[in-house]
Amino acid sequence: MTTDNAAPSYILRYFPVAALAETSRLLLTAAKADWKEENPEWPAEKPNQPFGRLPVLIEKGAEDDGSDFVLSESATIERYLARTFGFIPTDLKQAARQEQFRDQHIDIITAFFVSLKSSEAAREEMLENFNEMLDKIIELQTNLVRNNARSNYLFGSSLSYADMVTYAFYRLLFMYAVTHQAAIGPHVASKLTPEIKTFLGNMDAEPMFEKHLSSSGCLAPYLATK
């Protein structure tokens, strides 16, 4: 992040929660980009956002005519940053293999939210949906860790988009234990395999995230849950 007085190259506008901006925060932090976060007054600032929602990324003076490049949609912002800073392979298939995880995460998170809002009769089915997808992704991520056991990462030998997206996903699920439903914390923790716990512990200790995690906290307390 930039110091208060310097003009940053990137501004990330969002609310002061992990949710849809966390992967972008991790990407900007890992890249040591010159960036700062803005938490706009809401809903006063809603009409001033391109799609009326957040997150929004602003890259100062990045358009050909010198104006700011303004981007909406969290997944689009992430992929733009991941490509800008070289955290995603240039090979299309290898990149897509990473990107599919992000889209699955959103389905899982959506299923959780739908379950919260469902009538009692529908809730069970929604939770089943959530658990089925969560179990599947944990199985896939566990296999990635196993198959790449010589490194701390899901793919290859260095930190990539998939690592950040996955770490942000669990940060978000555990955050929901604080903001939405206490039971989801122990529930998710009880499903984590030793491989996923090791992976998340490694992400907690990742030097590239030190600055961000020193203010926002790591996952260690949740990983200790039996």
Positions touching ligand GSH (CB under 6 A) are: 19-20, 43, 46, 53-55, 73-75
Query: Using CA atoms, how far apart are residues 141 and 145, in angstroms rounded to an integer?
Result: 6
46 vs 191 by CB, closer to ligand GSH:
46
78 vs 206 by CB, closer to ligand GSH:
78
Kindly report the CA angle at 197 between 192 and 203, in degrees rounded to 5? 135
Buried b (16+ CB within 10 A) or exposed e, 108-142: bbebbebbeeeeeeeeeebbebbbebbeebbeebb
Give every CB contact of residue 85 below 8 A, 6+ residues apart in sequence: 27, 30, 31, 33
41 vs 91 by CB, closer to ligand GSH:
41
CB of 56 to ligand GSH, least distance (A): 9
Q: Which residues pair with 36 in a beta bridge?
A: 11
CB of 34 to ligand GSH, least distance (A): 23
58 vs 144 by CB, closer to ligand GSH:
58
CB of 73 to ligand GSH, least distance (A): 5
CB of 91 to ligand GSH, least distance (A): 25
